[in-house]
Structure 1
């Protein structure tokens, strides 16, 4: 379902993307809207699924998850059964923090967070034990230049 958004809506959403802990009073003051009207709009965003969830962003380095690996996969099959199984497998592997079905030479790219090369090797072995893969390769991220959660609204 699509919601028609005005400038006030976009302002509220920008503020919430930066800090979901802002009070209704602070948000309403910054977008020049009454407290109740602001609260009603936020509730509507949640009801229609525009706001999907509110989360805490954690520091991966402090949690010993500083290695980011981009895993490129070619499917063993392109049938529905294989794709469904692949989806189930990766959804049950917490190391996978992003998964994308692609066009072109690769079928899937996974963004994986682990502590080190040994942890990636364990991830790789578990993945390939759980599902047959046509080909898999990985690139280790040397430097994160930009990582974000805010959509460009």
Structure 2
């Protein structure tokens, strides 16, 4: 995938807005919605894909309907912040599918993780059996959300 920087015009932004809402929309319908004929619309979508603006297409799943109804946020502190320690931790995180987001933080903790699990017991087992066993993990503090107010993958354009 090419990693080029490209300036987005109004038509690109319209295309991206529609694709964020309906990733499986047919090109003819997309072209109609953004005010282009099908061929130029398809060329623009291909350019957005090739430039890396569109990373990939995915299906968004309802976690509760596949038995992963609990989401927690885990703040992780490492024993040190040496490059090797951070790299080891991130490699281990990549291997754990329950961790759906991982952010290296500036501030109080070293990492912030979003973790999904079937329920609180399943998360606790995951924390004990996997997360805290990663070498150099000093401490984990778990935050349990009471209610999800907003969850979106759409970026403002």
TM-score (norm 1): 0.97
Return the alpha-carbon distance in structure 2 between the equivalents of residues 21 and 150 of structure 1: 15
Return the alpha-carbon distance in structure 2 between the equivalents of residues 130 and 108 of structure 1: 13
Could you tell me how far 1:34 is from its partner in structure 2? 1.2
For structure 1, the 5+ residue unaligned runs are: none
SS in 1 for 2:66: coil
Return the alpha-carbon distance in structure 2 between the equivalents of residues 83 and 132 of structure 1: 9
The partner residue of 1:88 within 84, 88, 91 is: 91
SS in 1 for 2:75: strand
Count of residue correspondences: 153
SS in 2 for 1:112: strand
The partner residue of 1:148 within 139, 145, 152 is: 152
The partner residue of 1:129 within 113, 130, 133 is: 133
For structure 2, the 5+ residue unaligned runs are: none
Return the alpha-carbon distance in structure 2 between the equivalents of residues 72 and 89 of structure 1: 16
Say whether residues 1:8 and 2:21 are aligned partners.
Answer: no
The partner residue of 1:41 within 15, 24, 44 is: 44
Q: Which runs of 4+ in 1 moved over 4 A?
A: none
Could you tell me how far 1:75 is from its partner in structure 2? 1.5
The partner residue of 1:112 within 94, 111, 115 is: 115
Contact in 1 for aligned 2:75/2:112 (Cα 8 Å): yes
Return the alpha-carbon distance in structure 2 between the equivalents of residues 130 and 76 of structure 1: 11
- Greater alpha carbon shift after TM alignment, 121-130 vs 45-54: 121-130
TM-score (norm 2): 0.94
Give the CA RMSD over aligned residues: 0.9
